[in-house]
Amino acid sequence: MTYEEYLKHADECERLAESPTLPSNRHSLLSAAEMWRRMAAHAKPHDGAGLHPVLGDPLSDTCEGELLAQIEKLGSAISRDMDALGRAKSMRASSHLWTRILLKITERRELRDRLPSPRC
């Protein structure tokens, strides 16, 4: 995905959060918008030439060790959130946790996609 595509997703989440028909999901939608903006920051052009690198472009990737550490950290956070989900007392708390879990899974998948493919 490009920088602009991530921002479109963030804007859409914020627009839905302001919708009077979805008041119970407002917090989850704002969390989703925040996640999309973080993803956009990773895809933002760094060279100032107006190019919009796609995540996974070797020129925009951080080193493999950093990516693996971020993936591992997200895996641990997902595990903690899954444990908390089992202890959630309300539907709102459960909904919020599910949103966080899904956002972290999406972010982890994007990071995995940035890893260089194994060499044969």
Is there a domain that residue 94 lies in? yes
* Residue 37, C-beta contacts closer than 8 angstroms, at least 6 positions apart: 6, 7, 10
Is there a domain that residue 59 lies in? yes
Q: Domain of residue 63: give its range.
A: 3-114
Is there a domain that residue 119 lies in? no
Is there a domain that residue 120 lies in? no
Total domains in the fold of the chain: 1
Is there a domain that residue 44 lies in? yes
Residue 63: Cβ within 10 Å count: 8
Query: What's the pLDDT band for 40 if we cut at 50, 70, 90?
Result: confident
What is the tens place of the pLDDT at every residue in 51-102?
Answer: 444 444 554 444 777 878 888 888 888 888 888 888 888 888 888 888 888 8
